[in-house]
Structure 1
């Protein structure tokens, strides 16, 4: 315990983790960086910028050729087919010659050839080493050529040879580079029949800065953006020609545009529907016949059709006869389209079994089981309407055996309310009365809910909702019912809700980019009636950025506030804010912060607060295999009154963690240390959980 109090375990463990983290970063730097490489350009009139086919390698083995000995008296060979298969040699040295513009360390990070891993060099790899591959030679030449040509060295050539130490089974690799002269962008212009689109097309080429290093891949990107822009403005057949004129070391570039006639959407033929009504598909299309062609609208249409949840596969493409409809003499094209869909089975049975810890102030801890069975039809009448029924039962199985509750739910969703894309969900639930042996009463609950959802874009949406609840308490006299509800925390809840959500994350399990924003509020009681009367607001903002290789910089901010409504305003404990634990303020046990209630046994029970503030910064990165590591710091607290929100009451924790990536998300263990703990005791905590904290 003395060691714990002094923080020896924490600081020693954190130092060890930091060293491990740094070594993993160093090891990761040995991996080739291909982020700067894009597929080779087409249409660029610069043969010297191309990698010759024999340079890339056809897979045919060459005859071994001994090069003249260098100054060290070592003979270098060009063909790798003489190397032993088992065990393959370890690359011990990588040498460069002729490289004037870039240093050897930078070039090493760009090629496929790798020396032994950090763990192999230190002898901690348990006999496992990173061994040479015969494919490396061809990859090295291609990667180096791509790297140099993206920096303006259009005439670069590289050759690779090796020396094999047969005694140690080690390999020396030498790469000889002829860089040539560096070229730069000259003036960039737009010509042809661009017309009123010239200004927008010029923006697509804005990365081509005069006097900057000539980059064939930036040039290719500009052509792609121009074609994409024209395709979304009705010119999918537009041709873009590149004319380059060299003046000394500068290349003047001209884009000549041939729009080739305006294209409009024709009819859409739908195939593959046996249950779904065709209008369900047509209403999801982002265009109608006669609209100006747009590739964006085709993609959006496919996404919206797939988002209905009715199909396993959706494809929207030109109908086979479309080419015959091209009328060059009128410069007006109107091809038909063919949409093919593969339907999902509309009906399904669902079973769910869950277990958890059941704990109540009046009872001992116990294990509870939840068993749920349901049926749903996601395509009622072939109109994409959804209807579902579910029955759920919960009961104790350890330390006691008894029924806790039964719940029956009916749910109906109308996807196109009032003829527009508004989702309306109606739900009804009923919980029959089950006698509680501790409270000595039977409680029956019924509720009705209505929710409207309006998609704004593919990544954002608005929601509005209302719910009404009725509770009947049996075995209690009417005179004592209100007192019983107040003492036992039984509340009739009637509320209105509203929310906005925007999610641009590429993955919700392992986010590496984008952001998540949510603002929601709920109003209970007041003119609606019920026992709870308050307004509660929540704001969430998470941001993810990839930087310096594979490092993910994750930040978050969360704010919550509850306001009392009217003279009878009250905030039940279940609606208050709680903080602490694996997903909020790490270093503290779950929901342990804030005001507490001291029960008859002297145990402190958290009761929550009215205001929540939480912020976090975190660095995550892959370490090896399926393991990730992270360093984090959390800031925040919960407050009963706004006057308590002062810097001295902000708690700060720091820590580190290790994650193992699975198909259902990361399994993580994290260690949090309280560094600024205010009136809270000093300490630390280890957390085990699934998924990242945010």
Structure 2
């Protein structure tokens, strides 16, 4: 009670406010409390002296401050300012020290220690479908000293190659708007899941740009635009594709969405909740050769159930509809499930309808659920038992939970700065006759 009262008093500008408590012992065992409050003088914020920012420009720092010069001093605003500065990821340490500079004025000494702005990360993996795969990511987090971020990432496997250039502007037009622009080039081979022969090749070039706006500390809205050119080639005679999936197809779309996120760490959460909803809209008015509406939703929950055990669960779903002259959703926009990050125990993208050529056709609707117990064994090692479920449907009206495919298994993880390295063993609960009963998956990062 004394600390709460003192904090409330200091929050009104009485920086040197002191609260003493006297106890009055009464008959019958009662104890009375008398609070003596010595407010002192009201102090106001003065100048902020920034030190230690050799690369970062002063406006990047001052726009994160939660107080204004001339306002009554509130220690809680200093704490919030420090947290906002650390959240930028530009500084190893931030210290804000009040210093009396006048009769009723407090200047602030703001000392920062900058973190290295450049990073290089890489990883590798192995999967039964694409065999060997790996990536290299080169990024710089403080371009021109304005917290602008640029990165180049390349990913390769025996089946695909991908190159991405990314640029982020965190304060577009002087407002708290995060702008992200991405250029992507991708070449991919699709193979028959039974014979392993290459069925066709897909080449994709895309441009996307989007905005993110924080409505609260936990809720943000997103709006993005994407334009892609997709070219299918070397289609084998036994492969059945729709008219839109052969040759070259341009897709132009906008995607609004909303995200609610209370996770303590987006890369390795130990507690919190995540929910998101996105609607992708492609039409002729945007310059698209395909017309559809595609909706995806996701929820996730994370919390500790014991000292070294984290419970994690996720539910995802999606549906799509075509309109106008478009008869079928393009192959590159369909939902696919199965593999290391969806339903472990099944081959990559192997769930759902199978075409006459023996390849997965993907679908217009999907449902997926995952549950894990993340048990820390020792150091950076974890054992993770899990259960997965999911399926894909051609017609959203045919979606039925009784059609879900279920798997169970366990994984071994080693935590690294770029996420956990995972080796998962998944087993199908009710495999079809002649179907394999188990799969081993190797990957980097949590499944969800």
Instruction: With the length of structure 2 as denominator, give the TM-score of the two structures.
Output: 0.77
Question: Is the Cα contact below 8 Å between 1:448 and 1:469 reproduced in 2?
Answer: yes
Per the alignment, residue 277 of structure 2 pairs with 519
Other-structure match for 2:351: 593
2:76: which partner in 1? Answer: 296
Look up the match of 2:66: 286
Find out whether 1:334 has 2:105 as its counterpart. yes
Question: How much has 1:594 moved relative to structure 2?
Answer: 0.7
Change (3 A) 1:573 1:247: farther
> Are 2:241 and 1:462 equivalent residues in the alignment?
no
The answer on 1:264 being equivalent to 2:69 is no
Unaligned runs of 5+ in 2: 188-197, 234-240
Q: Give the 3 Å change call, closer, same or farther, for CA 560–225 of structure 1 in structure 2.
A: farther
Task: State the Cα deviation string for residues 471-528 of structure 1 (Å, max 9, x = none).
Answer: 7999xxxxxxxx9983546432211122323332223454321122222232223311
Cα shift readout 1:178-236 (whole Å, capped 9, x = no counterpart): xxxxxxxxxxxxxxxxxxxxxxxxxxxxxxxxxxxxxxxxxxxx544544444444344
CA drift of 1:595 comes to 0.6
CA contact (8 A) 1:673 1:685 kept: yes
Post-superposition offset of 1:571: 1.7
> Where is the strand percentage greater, Structure 1 or Structure 2?
2
Please name the residue that 2:310 is paired with.
Answer: 552
| 1:27-66 equivalent positions in 2, closer than 5 A | none
Question: Conserved in 2, the CA contact under 8 Å of 1:652 and 1:677?
Answer: no
Does the CA-based 8 Å contact 2:205-2:228 persist in structure 1? Answer: yes
Distance 1:241 1:490 in 2: 78
Residue segments in structure 1 that go unaligned for 5+ positions in a row = 1-221, 327-332, 360-364, 399-403, 433-437, 475-482
Q: Does structure 2 retain, via aligned residues, the 8 Å contact 1:655–1:671? A: yes
- Aligned 1:456-495 pairs, distance under 5 A: 456-470=215-229, 486-488=244-246, 490-495=248-253
**Structure 1 residue 278, shift from structure 2 partner:** 2.5
2:143 to 366, 373, 379: 379
Q: 2:368 aligns with which of 588, 601, 614?
A: 614
1:620: Cα distance to partner? 3.6
CA contact (8 A) 2:232 2:248 kept: no
Q: What is the alpha-carbon distance in structure 1 between the residues aligned to residue 155 and residue 307 of structure 2?
A: 49
Q: Which secondary structure does the structure 2 equivalent of 1:284 belong to?
A: coil
> Which whole-Å CA distance do the structure 2 matches of 1:586 and 1:442 have between them?
25
Deviations 1:236-277 (A, max 9, x none): 433333344556896646362526144432221222344444
* Cα deviation 1:445-480 (Å, max 9, x = unaligned): 764432212233444432211123457999xxxxxx
Structure 1 residues 503 and 343: alpha-carbon distance in aligned structure 2, compared to 1, 3 A threshold: same
**Higher helix proportion, which one?**
1
Deviation at 1:391, TM superposition (A): 8.7
Corresponding residue for residue 418 of structure 1: 173
Alignment CA distance shift 1:472-1:551 (3 Å): closer
How many equivalent residue pairs? 431
Counterpart check, 1:541 vs 2:299: yes
1:649-664 pair list within 5 angstroms: 649-662=403-416, 664=418
Bigger drift between 499-508 and 252-261 goes to 252-261
* 8 Å CA contact retained: 1:242, 1:256: yes
Report the alpha carbon displacement of residue 337 of structure 1 after superposing the two structures with TM: 0.7
Aligned partner of 1:118 in structure 2 is none
Q: Residues of 2 paired with 1:553 and 1:393: CA distance?
A: 31
| Residue in structure 2 matched with residue 317 of structure 1 by the alignment | 97
Q: What's the TM-score once normalised by structure 1's chain length?
A: 0.52
Instruction: Choose the corresponding residue for 1:234, options 4, 7, 13.
Output: 13
Report if the CA contact (8 A) 2:122-2:134 is conserved.
no
How far 1:561 moved relative to its partner?
1.6
Q: CA offsets, 1:117-174, max 9 Å, x none?
A: xxxxxxxxxxxxxxxxxxxxxxxxxxxxxxxxxxxxxxxxxxxxxxxxxxxxxxxxxx
Cα-Cα RMSD: 4.4
Larger Rg: 1
Higher relative contact order (CA 8 A, sep 6+): 2
Cα distance between partner residues in 1 of 2:152 and 2:168: 15
Q: 1:345 to 1:652 in 2, by over 3 A?
A: closer
Shift of 1:335: 0.8
Q: Deviations over 1:346-367 (max 9, x none)?
A: 6x586868687797xxxxx786
Distance of aligned partners of 1:673 and 1:308 in 2 relative to their CA distance in 1, 3 Å threshold: closer
8 Å CA contact 1:540–1:559 kept in 2: the answer is yes
Corresponding residue number in structure 2 for 1:502: 260
- Asked whether the 8 Å contact 1:522–1:536 carries over to 2, the reply is yes
Compared CA separation, residues 657 and 355, structure 1 to 2 (3 A): closer
CA distance in 1, matches of 2:228, 2:116: 34
Point out the more displaced range, 589-598 or 671-680: 671-680
State the alpha-carbon separation in 2 of the partners of residues 353 and 659 from structure 1: 14
Measure, in 2, the Cα distance between the counterparts of 1:566 and 1:513. 44
State whether structure 2 residue 414 is matched by structure 1 residue 634: no
Q: 1:666 to 1:259 in 2, by over 3 A?
A: farther
